Amino acid sequence: MEANDLERRLEELNEQYSKTKYNKATNKYLGILRAKIAKVKKQMSSKRRNRGTGFAVKKTGDATVALVGFPNAGKSSVLIALTGVESKVAEYAFTTLTVIPGMLEINKAKIQFLDTPGLIEGAHIGRGGGRQIVSAIRVVDLILFIVDVNAYSDIPALIRELNDLGIDVSGKAGAIRIENRESGGITILKGPKAVKPTAEILDVLGQLGVHNANIYAKGDFTVDELIEAAANEKTSIKSIIALNKIDTNRNFERAKSVLESATGIPVVAISAKTGTGLQELKNEISRNLGLIRVYLKRKGEAPDMSNPLVVKEGSSLEDIARKVHDKMASESKSAYVMGRSVRFGIQKVGLDHIAKDGDVVTFISR
Ligand SMILES: Nc1nc2c(ncn2[C@@H]2O[C@H](COP(=O)(O)OP(=O)(O)OP(=O)(O)O)[C@@H](O)[C@H]2O)c(=O)[nH]1
Ligand SMILES: [Mg+2]
């Protein structure tokens, strides 16, 4: 939609909202209106943000991680230590001027890392160059904060400011999280369990224009709570803090616990220089990305165990087929599955079946 259309739409929605009197019968309708208003506002602000930003890095691989931190914290050094990609490292601040991508394979998952320029301590990151960084990190799957063990006091303020800019990195946003996807319909995930949405949920989400999404829920929820979650304008991105340069500070454990309790974000102590903690950091990244591996097997052949498909937790077989090829998704109607997601040795399931890590799948064509 064009900017003018969005403004008109917002006006219409606001008018409907103010004309509707609150009572028990209109409660749900008002909730849907609130969610619609939130969505239009979000579209308007992303239109504004996209204007003239030069940081559009193409996302590739199975997931994207952004390295974020103050100048000189060691972001480029960590990128090099993890991926081997050359990003300029120097003893003075502001060495990295653009977003530089590198790739790393962890447990067969191809993970893209983006090195970003340093954010200025104490400055408002929503302005100037900071705004471009914020728009680049809004779309990543995980934020890796790189923090100098000798200069960490401004980190809680940085996290608060990201929150004010609509990026919640606390990892504990709401009991319900709606993650839009390109196709595959609506899947509700309660912990490791997938449940079918009710007709009422489908109806409400449909009215909000949500047709393909994973709904992550901690437990049971009401339709009203779902509408509230849809109205939430915040982007929630998981994050990890890498407390860097611990080779220079013997009291790093103290800094680690201070940061952990001030932010609620997991902290891994590392040194990009000596390599200490890098393996633990890779494990933590892998765990937080929530990726699973699924192996394809053709009928009558052995599965290709060296070459898994890497997908997000909660992916259905249809999502997985589509990752191989659109044709595979449209030509398959069921599949044989062997692994943790089924109870018996080999089970025939529909394409709405949710895969688990290590599953071996044979698609059956129509
Ligand atoms: N002792 C020690 N020095 C480090 C470590 N990691 C990075 N450095 C040094 O810290 C300085 C800054 O490192 P960079 O990787 O350029 O930092 P940056 O965060 O990318 O900096 P900008 O791009 O300018 O924001 C360099 O002199 C690095 O050699 C570490 O683990 N230990
Ligand atoms: Mg740098």
Domain CATH number, residue 348:
3.10.20.30
Q: Cα–Cα distance between 33 and 75 in angstroms, integer?
A: 43
Q: Are residues 110 and 220 in the same domain?
A: no
Q: Are residues 88 and 229 in the same domain?
A: no
Q: Which residues contact 327 (CB under 8 A, 6 or more apart)?
A: none
Q: Is the CB of 328 under 6 A from ligand 1?
A: no
Q: Is the CB of 116 under 6 A from ligand 1?
A: no
Q: Is the CB of 71 under 6 A from ligand 1?
A: yes
User: In this structure, is residue 253 part of a structural domain?
Assistant: yes
**Taking Cα atoms as reference points, which of 275, 351, 287, 284 lies closest to residue 320?**
351
- Tell me the residue range of the domain where 351 lies: 292-365
Q: Is the CB of 93 under 6 A from ligand 1?
A: yes
CA distances from 343 to 105, 337, 346, 351 (A): 31, 10, 8, 17
- Tokens coding 70: 């103050």
SS3 state at 36: helix
**Taking Cα atoms as reference points, which of 247, 250, 244 lies closest to residue 274?**
247
Q: Which residues contact 193 (CB under 8 A, 6 or more apart)?
A: none
Q: Are residues 162 and 278 in the same domain?
A: yes
Q: Are residues 93 and 214 in the same domain?
A: no
Q: Cα–Cα distance between 238 and 146 in angstroms, integer?
A: 14
User: In this structure, is residue 318 part of a structural domain?
Assistant: yes
User: In this structure, is residue 95 part of a structural domain?
Assistant: yes
Q: Is the CB of 247 under 6 A from ligand 1?
A: yes
User: In this structure, is residue 113 part of a structural domain?
Assistant: yes
Instruction: With residue 207 as reference, give the H or E element that holds it.
Output: helix 199-207
Q: Are residues 202 and 319 in the same domain?
A: no
Task: Provide the residue-wise pLDDT of the chain in tens; the chain has 366 residues.
Answer: 677 899 999 999 999 999 988 888 888 899 999 889 888 887 777 666 554 444 556 778 899 999 999 999 999 999 999 988 877 776 665 666 677 788 999 888 999 998 888 888 777 787 767 888 888 888 889 999 999 999 999 999 999 989 888 888 987 656 788 887 777 789 898 866 778 899 999 998 988 888 888 888 888 888 888 888 888 777 889 999 999 999 999 999 999 999 999 999 999 999 999 999 999 999 999 999 989 999 999 988 999 898 899 998 888 898 899 888 888 888 999 999 999 989 888 999 999 898 999 999 999 987
Q: Is the CB of 263 under 6 A from ligand 1?
A: no
Ligand 1 atom index nearest CA of 93: 24
Q: Are residues 130 and 68 in the same domain?
A: yes
CA distances from 170 to 102, 173, 236, 260 (A): 25, 7, 8, 11
Q: Are residues 147 and 240 in the same domain?
A: yes
Identify the DSSP state of 58.
P
Q: Is the CB of 95 under 6 A from ligand 1?
A: yes
Q: Are residues 82 and 181 in the same domain?
A: no
User: In this structure, is residue 38 part of a structural domain?
Assistant: no
**Gap from CA of 89 to ligand 1 centroid (Å):** 6
Number of domains in the chain: 3
Cross-strand bridge partners of residue 309: 294
Ligand closest to Cα of 91 equals 1
CA distances from 30 to 42, 295, 326 (A): 18, 46, 38
Ligand 1 atom index nearest CA of 73: 19
Q: Are residues 137 and 68 in the same domain?
A: yes
Ligand 1 atom index nearest CA of 115: 20
Residue 36 main-chain phi, psi, to 5 deg:
-65, -40
Query: What is the per-residue pLDDT for 49?
Result: 53
- Tokens coding 272: 């990009």
Ligand 1 atom index nearest CA of 77: 15
Q: Are residues 144 and 199 in the same domain?
A: no
User: In this structure, is residue 351 part of a structural domain?
Assistant: yes
**Gap from CA of 167 to ligand 1 centroid (Å):** 26
